[in-house]
Structure 1
Amino acid sequence: METILRFFESIDPVWGALLATTFTWLVTAAGAAVVFFFKTLSRTWLDGMLGFTGGVMIAASFWSLLAPSIDMSARMGMIEWLPPAIGFGAGALFIYVLDRFVPHLHINFDPSAKEGLETNWRRSTLLILAITLHNIPEGLAVGVLFGGVAAGIPEASIGGAVALALGIGLQNFPEGIAVSMPLRRLGVSRRRSFFYGQ
């Protein structure tokens, strides 16, 4: 881990953000590649992996984003919890608006349970849009943290940025599986399931 940190400290933070987000994509692609080796996965196993994924993202969000934001607010003489709460609320509102207006379908839900604006799009397209909606804030989080490092903000560290990218990458493996396997069950070819799953 120390070697990785030294490497990221030696390069420009913009390049670091590019490499970190490329890493998260590669891990997602590795998860999606499971479709080449297995025809199906048990629901219990997939549920366990997705539960693990949720826990990793909660921890990464708090330790790499919210906690440094609280510290920064305190140092700036602000009410410690207010700026992070406003940012958290604005992010939740952004996701809510996207969820209401972008047509999508959640993994393993009945096709009649599609959300967003009414559309005639196929189930696989709606599933891909749901995952795309989920990936937008992940990329923003990594980019913002590396941007904070580039701007010289003391609370933003290379270690925190790398840890966040590792956490997101760790949870992206089951996410790649969670997209590619249902697509395969819907009759999409292995190659296309892999392509859409990454």
Structure 2
Amino acid sequence: MLDTIIDYLASISPVKAAFLATLFTWLLTAVGAGFVFFFKQMNRPLLDAMLGFTGGVMIAASFWSLLAPAISMSEGEGFIKVMPAALGFVGGSLFIFFLDKVLPHLHVNFKKAEGIKTPWQKTTLLVLAITMHNIPEGLAVGVLFGGAASAMPEATIAGAVVLALGIGLQNLPEGIAVAVPLRRMGMSRRKSFFFGQSSALVEPIAGVLGAAAITIFTPVLPYALAFAAGAMIFVVIEEVIPETQQAGNTDLATLGFIGGFTIMMILDVALG
């Protein structure tokens, strides 16, 4: 089954392949948001474990799928070889840092809105928080597909598919983390689902842009891979992990993180 998917994606344009792969990651966000039709309350310990899982997947993907290939495909030796990855990594981190300071958003615990002051409703702010997380995820998938189409040996279709699979799995709890709190606030199930799934609509957009950019400017691939890695790791350290520590479920969150990291590492090394 996986081989068939990989062969098909390899036979089409990288932009179309990136679109289909990120459409899959959006779909799993929608599946997570669909939990709102069955549950009105969040089981906070379970959510923290799932968010820990999300962090583990993102950290593992950042290294195995993005940083390691970025370093491997760079020319030169020593400091020269690692500089494209280092510059891209810092650039991606600063990009999300800037968005975090400027874009108004609100986290699951509803304690404090971040970004510039705005009269926007909590609904919009919560959706924006998850949307900000999804930008580097879609970008990472698109960049890998673009690199594979450019015949870079370190970037493969199989690796891009595995990355999309891992991101899709961790999108499930993100869909829940948006939709269920909105339902608890009194919003209808349909509206809660709509806002929950819409937080991942940015992934196909970022995926297509990433793939298109790499097919046109192949030399920037190491920078782009590391850029996506830096953005993802910033999100994990600044947003995801602190969120899991709010309710005292640190052990569950840590075990979830270990599980997510291990699964993503196995998938990437064994299949990618």
Whether TM exceeds 0.5 here: the answer is yes
- 1:4 deviation in Å? 2.0
Could you tell me which residue of structure 2 aligns to residue 192 of structure 1?
191
Quick one: distance in 2 between partners of 1:10 and 1:132?
A: 30
Match of 2:169 in 1: 170
CA distance in 2, matches of 1:116, 1:41: 26
Task: Give yes or no for contact 1:14–1:150 (8 Å, CA) kept in 2.
Answer: no
CA drift of 1:80 comes to: 3.2
Whole-angstrom CA distance in 2 between matches of 1:197 and 1:165: 19
Extract structure 1 runs of 4+ deviating beyond 6 A.
Answer: none
TM-score, normalization by structure 2: 0.69
Contact 1:124 1:183 in 2 (8 A): yes
CA contact (8 A) 2:42 2:181 kept: no
Partner of 1:32: 33
Q: Is the 8 A contact 1:32 1:180 kept in 2?
A: yes
> Which amino acid in structure 1 is aligned with residue 169 of structure 2?
L
Amino acid at match of 1:183: L
User: CA-to-partner distance for each residue in 1:166-197, whole Å, 9 max, x for gaps?
Assistant: 11101001110011011111111110110010
Aligned partners of 1:28 and 1:173 also within 8 Å: yes
Q: Is the 8 Å Cα contact of residues 27 and 169 (structure 1) preserved in structure 2? A: yes
Normalized against structure 1, the TM-score is what? Answer: 0.94
Return the offset for 1:15: 1.5
Q: Supply the distance in 2 between the matched residues of 1:139 and 1:166 (Cα, whole angstroms).
A: 12
| Equivalent-residue separation in structure 2 for 1:55 and 1:80 (angstroms) | 27
**Pairs within 5 Å for 1:47-196:** 47-73=48-74, 76-78=75-77, 79-110=80-111, 113-196=112-195
Which residue identity lines up with residue 58 of structure 2 in the other structure? M
Contact 2:73/2:154 (CA < 8 Å) preserved in 1? yes
Maintained 8 Å contact 1:70/1:81: yes
CA distance in 1, matches of 2:40, 2:108: 17
Moved more, 82-91 or 44-53: 82-91
1:160 is matched by which residue type in structure 2? G
User: What is the aligned length?
Assistant: 194
Unaligned runs of 5+ in 1: none
Q: Counterpart amino acid of 1:136?
A: I
CA deviation map 1:105-159 (0-9, x unaligned)? 111131xx11111111111111111111111111111111111122222211001
Paired residues of 1:104 and 1:116 also in contact (CA < 8 A): yes
- What RMSD, in angstroms, separates the aligned Cα atoms of the two structures? 1.2
Q: Partner amino acid for 1:100?
A: K
